[in-house]
Structure 1
Amino acid sequence: MRSRPSVLFAILLLALTSCGSPPAAVPTPTPTEATAAPRYPLVVTDDRGKQITFTAPVQRIVSVAPSSTEIVFALGAGDRVVAVDDFSDFPAEAKALPKVGGFTTSAEKVVSFQPDLVLAITTGNLAPALEAQGQRVAIFEPTDFAGVYRDIATIGQIVGRESAAADLVRRMRDRIGAVTERARTATARVRVLHEIDASDPTKIYVAGPGNFIDAMIAAAGGTNVAASAPSSYPQLSAEEIVRADPEVIVLSDAAYGMTPEAVAARPGWSAIDAVKKRRVVAIDPDLVSRPGPRLADGVEQYAKLLHPELFP
């Protein structure tokens, strides 16, 4: 079982991805991009809108952003990652790397690995502290599928793996597109509540509108019952959830001890359709909280939970 602080960290990451930059088109490789080395100076733009200049190939990366860690490894450039944060646990090669910390990561610890690039998140003051010391920092926190594809392409440019990035994006598009097409044949869309953290059962964190979990629900043939909430990751009261009457409740906090039995035991929840029909189900939180290569896995898993008749 994972620790509760990890849940809170996931919520912070999810909340951050709801306020990123607008989606942009994924660059289409030219015929020579697949084989040519990147030209220098190389200028890219991260999700803050910040332009970052590279005068030589990146050789030493410290990543304190689990989704960016996964992207670098998926592009075949994992050998350039010299250290990661405590939460970068996939793939296994990343988990085995030296750690720079979790909730509290000092700039000095990061700098001690002599990186020529730090992949960071906007939480806290680590990124500004590193930049104040002259470190090159890039932040990738997409809010939707288009943003994920864009960031994969950008990281591909940075590590000189444009062809691998284009191929990864194509495969992700194909897999998610196949799920979407099949889900459209369902007789009805399923009302879904995606639970993130119920450590306070009176105010439960859920996935609201305008984020990639909401997009995953739609792609998998569901309707997010929190789609009209005022924020991307709102806290809903038990009464609000009972009134919404979801047909499926998806738990991304099961790894932290939440169970379908505990959900069913909540006062008043026995009236919810998902509870009555035993459709309170768990999903791997990493598949839905990290905007990276495994989002396609998350969409496929979601579809199986919502429409098992179509996705056996």
Structure 2
Amino acid sequence: MHKLFRISFTTILLAMLSTLSMYGVAAVTVTDDLGNKVTLDRPARRVISLAPHVTELIFAAGGGSKIIGTVKYSDYPEAAKAIPRIGDLRQVDLERIIALKPDLMVVWMHGAFNQQLDTLRKSGIPFFFSEPQKLSQVPETLINLGQLMETEAIAQSAAATFQQQLQQLTIQNQHKSKVRSFYQVWGHPLYTLNDKHIVSDAIRLCGGENMFGALAPSAPVVTVEAVLQANPELIIGTTSMGDSKNDIDQWKNFPTLLANKNHNLLVIEGDLMNRPGPRTIEGAKAICALLDQARQHRSTDIAKGLK
């Protein structure tokens, strides 16, 4: 009798394991952008996004329908606007997050979140930290998210498209002359981004040099005097959410500034680059176009001087 029971139990257990394998319910492990191993016992079905760029990445990886909560300014793609808000980039509603019972949180690591994230860690919710600092990391992130959400086919397709465009852009710009550039995120105070940000990677790709890339803070505040002393050939301003004002016109008050003299006070849509997500390839194309304009203006000025 006991022998028969043992045989029956073993048979049932093997059948259960076979069924689980057949339906693909198995643990998945990936590495996030901080180098942490993230393991889920089964694919994520209830995901919370804690940054606008994260929301874009999840949608591009095929998991938009799985997002149950996100933060303010997660406005792309259009469907993201309908997702319930659980806070902003400064503070989130911890009780609401826990009540939503997410099986994955995709977060952006910055100082304002540290204490709150410690509280959420104790709840046992798995975390994936997302902050691509190079354009080449975006396809990797898409694939990782696809694995975590079991949307690999969509994620791999998006990653391949991004990688193909990146390769083409790299070839097109690999032998172009250097353009000394200042990237202006905001005018008052005067914010820029350092070399650890994906913006600088795009500037380098396009043959440019970020004049303040060596500064320690990821988003340093600089002075007008420091910009004038650096004397960049190109100043790139940014707009956001349809707002055309970036205070880039303030540089027109300095006639000796090279970027002003060469008519290189140019603007791109900030969300394309300030959010390190799938649209950064379009942002990189825009930056390359601005650097090409600066080179053209340089050639025009030289030609004028020869006449």
TM interval, shorter chain, is 0.7 to 0.9
Structure 2 residue aligned with 1:194: 183
| Structure 1 match to 2:231 | 245
* C-alpha RMSD over aligned residues: 2.4
Q: Are the equivalent residues in 2 in contact too, given 1:195–1:249 (CA < 8 A)?
A: yes
Structure 1 CA distance for aligned equivalents of residues 23 and 250 of structure 2: 54
Determine the structure 1 residue equivalent to 2:274: 289
Q: Which moved more, 1:36-45 or 1:81-90?
A: 36-45
Partner of 1:10: none
Of 177, 201, 224, 1:215 maps to: 201
**Which range moves more in the overlay, 70-79 or 256-265?**
256-265
**TM-score relative to the length of structure 2:** 0.79
Name the SS of the counterpart of 1:271 in structure 2: coil
Give the length in aligned residue pairs: 269
3-state DSSP class of the match of 2:219?
coil
| Matched residue SS, 2:255 | helix
One-letter code aligned to 1:136: P
Q: 1:164 aligns with which of 154, 159, 165?
A: 154
**Partner of 1:157: helix, strand, or coil?**
helix
Q: 1:109 aligns with which of 96, 116, 119?
A: 96
* Counterpart Cα distance in 2 of 1:139 and 1:294: 19
Name the TM-score, length of structure 1 as normaliser.
0.78
- Which amino acid in 1 is paired with 2:36? K
Work out whether residues 202 and 287 of structure 2, in 8 Å CA contact, stay in contact via their aligned partners in 1.
yes
Tell me how far apart the structure 2 counterparts of residues 144 and 38 of structure 1 sit (CA, whole Å).
33
CA distance in 1, matches of 2:295, 2:182: 20
Match of 2:163 among 158, 166, 173: 173
Task: Indicate whether 1:89 and 2:89 are aligned.
Answer: no
1:206 is paired with a residue of what secondary structure?
coil
- The structure with more radius of gyration: 2
Counterpart in the other structure of 1:17: none
CA contact (8 A) 1:287 1:295 kept: yes
Moved over 4 A (4+): 36-39
Look up the SS of the partner of 1:205 in the other structure. Answer: coil
Q: Does the 8 Å CA contact 1:207/1:232 hold for their aligned counterparts?
A: yes
Tell me which residue corresponds to 2:245: 257
Q: Which structure exhibits the higher relative contact order, with contacts defined as CA atoms closer than 8 Å and separated by 6 or more residues?
A: 1
What does residue 265 of structure 2 align with? 280
Unmatched tracts of structure 1, length 5 or more = 1-35
Partners of 1:195 and 1:169 lie apart in 2 by: 29
Is residue 41 of structure 2 the alignment partner of residue 51 of structure 1? no
1:36-94: CA deviation from partner (whole Å, max 9, x where unpaired)? 98661112222233333212221111111222211111122211112211121110101
| Identical pairs, percent | 25
Q: CA–CA distance in 1 between the matches of 2:25 and 2:290?
A: 45
CA distance in 2, matches of 1:258, 1:145: 25
SS, match of residue 125 in structure 2 = coil
Alignment correspondent of 1:132: 122
> In the TM superposition, what is the alpha-carbon distance from 1:173 to its structure 2 partner?
1.9
Structure 2 portions without partners, runs of 5+: 1-21, 297-307
CA contact (8 A) 2:109 2:130 kept: no
**Bigger shift: residues 161-170 or 88-97:** 161-170
